[in-house]
Structure 1
Amino acid sequence: VTVCPAQLPYSWNGNSYSGEGTYAITLSTPNGCDSVPILSLTVAPFVTSLTTMSVCESSLPFTWNGQSFSSAGSHTVNLITSAGCDSIATLQLSIEETDSVFTTIAICENALPFVWNGDPYTASGVYTKRFVDNNGCDSISILNLTVNPVDTSVTTITICRSALPYLWNGQTINDAGEYFSELTSNAGCDSVAMLHLLVNELSLTTQQISICNLQLPYTWNGRLLASAGNYSDTLVNAVGCDSIVRLTLTVSPEVTTQLTLSICNNELPYHWNGQNITTAGNYVANFLNQAGCDSIVRLSLTVNPLQNSITVLSVCRSDLPFVWNGLSINAAGNYTANLQTVHGCDSVARLTFMVTEASSSTLNATVCSADLPFLWNGRSLDSTGTYRDTLPNRAGCDSILSLNLVVNPTPGSVNVPPPLSYCQFDDASPLIASADSNTALLWYTSATSGVPSPNVPVPSTAEPGTYMFYVSATNQNCEGPRATITVTVNRKPDLGDDRSLAVCYGETGSLTGLFNTDGLNPVWTVAGAPISPAVVSIPGAYNLVVENSFGCTDSANVAFSINPQVVADAGPDADVETNIPYRLQGSGNGSFSWYPPNIINNPNIASPLVTVQSDATLILTVTDNLGCLDTDTVRLRVLNGPTFYVPSAFTPDGDGLNDVFRPTPVGIQKLDYFRVYNRYGELVFETSEIGKGWNGIYKGIRQNGGNYVWALKGVDRTGRERMMKGNVVLIR
């Protein structure tokens, strides 16, 4: 038998064969005879082939063994051999690309026809031609042909005469006419240009204008002319060329005449050039002169008033008769005179004439002796007496004056105490001063001037400083010199408000630094006994008295107290389950803080929930409102649960180690019973309280060492009932 490699292993008569060979087996026929068939197994070989071919790009797609290929590379086809087995044929195909040659040519129109690859061309365009290369494949040549025309242009230009000479295509042109130029275009082809040049001539205009002076400045062609003269301007005419305009400007002057006139008030109204003038002032009249310009006449008019005067005059009787404006007057009365002013205007003068008689008067004066000498009408008087003098009165007439002068004695100096001194806020006494008998005291707040007061002042001690008080003696309105009383108010030490000091239980306090005593003498006492302020340990009221260099004092009290002891209790150590929340049993008299906080649901309460994955020690800190604190720890041991862990032995010898036999609940919410029996089946201990155990004593008697039987029943955190029993060894 011949098989393909893919048909191995080959099965024959219940046997499998994986390679070529001759195989024999023994079989039994139905009649019980042996039969030995022989298998000659041949494995046909696996056939592979590689074909390499090259084709032109234009021959694609390429067909090989019934399949089409459009790209170069290695291609595989599965075939069947004549033996019926698989055969893999591989084609290594390469593709010869079609060559393309692109040519761009630009020629002038007069170079046509253009011959390319044996063919003539007469117009711009893209032309293609095919060839066969050395590999037998197509080769394409492409021609992009551009035919540039020969340009002929005609240009007409008009310029002004002033623009000559004119430069065009390298030629200098000095007059109008037609001109030619041969050029080469950007494409390199011939170009013929023709210029038709037109030349416009320059124009000239002359103007003469006469104006009045008042018309200045004069506007001409956009310019402001301020005076007569010759002016010129260059403009652009209708064909766009320069046009010169010349102006001769004549300005006729303005004629002004000034008149001055003075009249009397009774000559009003005054008529001038058709105007009725009723008041003094400056007036103007306008005329036209021969040139048609304004001529101005200005009038300055002065109106002199009619002067009516009233004179009131008083003379002494000794001056009669009195002469006034040619009149001789011997008695009092009203008089009138008609006069003329310097301007020739009428003037009426009226006189009210009075005659003053001689007078006499008496003056009484009282002065103090300290004010002597007393000056009176140029005389110096220094004693009591009557004095007379003759003086002109207000009317200039003789007046006899009499002076009755009384001189009172001036009191002497006041006796005052030496400078006084008080502490701030002390009660001050009224000031004391003394003087001569029959005198009164006057008090002042300034050394000179000021308003006196008969009231004795009481110094104020509210603000520290030096204060001056002044006092003088007075008698019969005569006042003596002022004496000075100096009062100094010294600053009192200021300890401020009373203080309180509280410390934590077990600590001592220090009073030092509670008050600022710099520069002061401090004395601390408690219950009247002096103490050292550095360390205090007994609660109570402490008193501080300080004195400064002036002898002024202040005091303050400190209430010293000791806070109650802060006690933190983290609760009993416990056995807990992994990742099962356990409620801690902390307590204390303050605020709570558990550490580490990251495994506790609320680290700031007494009994939060904690979740652990391994044994852990937690720290509880309890802090009161003064910051006093206490700490305690609780150890959590992680056990698998929920279940009870019961020891196998205990030693109730009173050493504090393993003295009590009790089950350790893990994940248990209730204990129904925990019982211990001796070997006689007698119940020696029973409890339903978690954490309680047997101490090896029954009915007050220490039990012997040996084996005991225990049994318990409880409910775990899932509500499932748990029952366990076992043996324990009591070791004495």
Structure 2
Amino acid sequence: MTNSFHRTTGKKYLQKWAFAIRFSLLAFALFLPAALYAQLRINEVSQGASGSKEYVELVVVGTRTCSDSCADLRGWIIDDNNGWLGAGSGQGIATGCSRFASDANWSCVPYGSIILIYNDGDPNPAITQPDDPTDSDHDHVYILPASSAYFERHTSSPVSPSMVNYVYPATGFINGGDWSTLSLNNNGDAFIVTSPSDLSQAYHSFGYGNLTNFAAADIFLATSGSAKVYYLADDQYNNVASWVAGSAPAEETPGLPNTPANATWINAMLAPVNGTVNTDIYDCVTNGHSYFFNDQNLTVAGLYKDTLATVAGCDSIITLHLNVTFPASHDSTITSCSTVIYMGNPYSSTTDIHDTLHSYQGCDSIYNTVHIVIGGANPVMVSDTLTGCGHVTYNSVDYTTTTFIGDTLQTVAGCDSVFQSIYIIVYPVQAANISDTVTGCRGLVINDHVYDTTTITSDTLFSVHGCDSVYRNLAVIILPADTVTITPADTAICPRNSVKLKASGAPQLTWLGFTAPDSLTVTPGSTTTYYIVGTSLNGCTDTAAATVTVEDFVLTLSASPDTLVLTDDVFTLITSGNFPYDVLLWYPQYIFPRQHVYAQQLVADETRKYTVIAQSQAAGCKDTAAITVRVSEDPYSLMPNAFTPNGDGLNDYIFPVSTKPFTVEKFIIFNRWGNQVYDYATGDKKGWDGNYKGVPAAQAVYAYYLIVNFANGKSVSRKGNITLLRSWQ
């Protein structure tokens, strides 16, 4: 029945609905205006509050019609001043340009969309939204860094100085953009949008500052760009009175309209065209059947559209979301010893029940089969035997004599099925007594119990069946043993020295590994333990041990923070040893009033050798250590005077050097025009690589200013000149 509805009633419904739409849209479509040509306009340009936190915001401008609602931006060029607004040096002309890549992402960008492009080398913190180069969240805001693969860049054109009649190249672009082609000069620069249909003039341009050909700009503001944001306050993008030179970051609005009037203009372009009606239908059909739609019998799941058009050309679209279901079978089994209640019905005998489930759209989807099995008892006989001494306990009953009992077990379903026969055997307990004696020296372990004095104890033995049968009365006799000692018990000596060990305490003494009598003189090469065994008259033995530690005492002397210090630096001499030790003497003695301390603190005055003598505490072994601390007169010669950044791995960076550890507080470099070409705070921590704004700087003399802090607390500032040398083929 479900499929019959789709083939008949569904068709009539769609035909009536389509006729109504065609009739209702006919009059409206007659009055729709022709589509206006799409435009890409500048909406906001920001220098950022500091550094190069720059971005530009563009708006896709156009009037939506039934047949035109988006712009093709592929090949549109974006650039800073290229020479059109001032061709000489100092006019902010960055080498190269960027353009929208030939990517489907840009083939149809809806009118009213905002495109935010920012410098990812120094991101502006006012941009809090995540990157969205494809408008994946459909908010009509594209956010992407200048280096995105959705851009292409030209690395050599334009170049400063340029020409006021400069023409962009059509070829030579490579994948990926770069903000260095767009970077803005604080003193004066511009932002230019150029259509691929005319590469010889700006489609829309904005300029500021000291541009010499400012009259060529669509919009020009004389205010310089440092910490400035320029934005359109309404919809009059070619009216200079509609533009504001604001302060960054207070007036920055990246990815958003700039003012309420600006928002009204942008939102108006996003409004859909009146007269268009789109409808979605969701339905299903089971596999093997068809669904009639748009004069077709459909059997495959998918999206199908029927377009209804008015005289004015505004399409109204019906979209069918067709789902094809594949019925599945599911089997289950219910077993019981008696009647089963299923779906409210009783079943007292084995049977099969078939049930059909449906999808949420009414299509059959699952055929369920339930097998009900009513099982009777199938008795099985099993036997078992239990044994015990004197008694056996089974099912909480105590049996003292051999007997036979029967028990009934059940299956999981509760049906009696197993009958068990239990044979209980009770073995009698027959006790007997025996006596025994055991002897040991100092102590014995019997049945996991330690005996250290003479006593009598009882032990129980067992028969083959595990029943107590024999009780043993055991006399435990503990014999005394003489205690053996070695003098000295443990001692320490210096390498190559000897010590005499003397043993006593038993009538018979034996050194393990030696044939000596009670006394033994040893000269071990390393720490060694010696053992003596003493035997009493009753045959009991005792063992003693003595360890002779060989103290190969090694004394070391170190200087902190280093063996190279500056004049008037405070440094510390520190002793250490591999055994506990005492300091005896420091040399030169006149420098050290405290002769027995482990560390000495001094003020550096001249290069000198220091010596210390110490001895180990246990054996009195002596050792001497010495160290020379050098005092540097001038560690502050910090800057090389030239470097050659040619990529050969030698002198490719310019950076301060010193014989002492230091940290850089400030390090900046300027060219002869006063432009800052390097700042340690924001640049490469290895130093300046000779590049300025992404291109090699010219061979010339540059000025630097440097502040460093040394580990001794001394701060040193330097300023001077360095020479950048290049070797050209």
TM range (shorter): under 0.3
Higher strand share: 1
Question: Which structure has the larger Rg over C-alpha atoms?
Answer: 1
TM-score, length basis structure 2: 0.26
TM-score, length basis structure 1: 0.26
Tell which has more relative contact order, 1 or 2 (C-alpha 8 A, sep 6+): 2
